[in-house]
Copies of this chain bind each other. A is one copy, B any other.
Amino acid sequence: MKALSVTEKLQQKDVKPTANRILVYETMAKLGCPLSISDIEDNLLSIDKSSIFRVITLFVQHDVVHAIEDGSGSLKYEICHEDLLHALGGHVHFYCEKCHHTFCLEGVDIPLVQIPEGFESKSVNYMIKGICPSCCKKNEIGNNLA
């Protein structure tokens, strides 16, 4: 099975591949990590904020991307990879409180829990906050110099 082009990936999800949509998708794919609307805005000066918003909204509806909630205040979006069952479950995310970057811990699956009778679960979000490797390192160096 060969790799699909961006256009094909969008069509596969019933999203008409307009110029803006392709640009947004490509930007997200290129950067690889979960991005906020403003993050995308900063990387796509040509497109208006509202248009990016509408593209993302459409992408979410059509399951092209999904939203994740790190604690940063703004929603982050990432491309849905179907490889693994992403519906319920998915992987753990990590938010660095120092550099404000959100990481996908692709290898770390979310452990599911038993919830009380009556609750109907639609999605799960497992978020760890702390310091990322590169910021940990910087910190050590800083301490040594001090």
- Which residues in A have some Cβ–Cβ distance to B below 8 Å? 67, 69-71, 73, 75, 92, 94, 97, 103, 105, 107-108, 110-111, 113-133, 136-137
Contacts and interface: CB of A to CB of B under 8 A. Distances in A.
Contacts of A127: 69, 124-127
Contact of A122 (B75, B117, B120, B131): B131
When all copies of this chain in the complex are counted, the total is 2
Contacts of A69: 69-71, 127
Given A94-B119, A120-B130, 18 more contacts: A69-B127, A71-B125, A94-B115, A97-B122, A111-B111, A111-B113, A113-B128, A115-B128, A118-B137, A119-B128, A120-B136, A122-B129, A122-B130, A123-B128, A124-B126, A124-B127, A124-B129, A125-B129
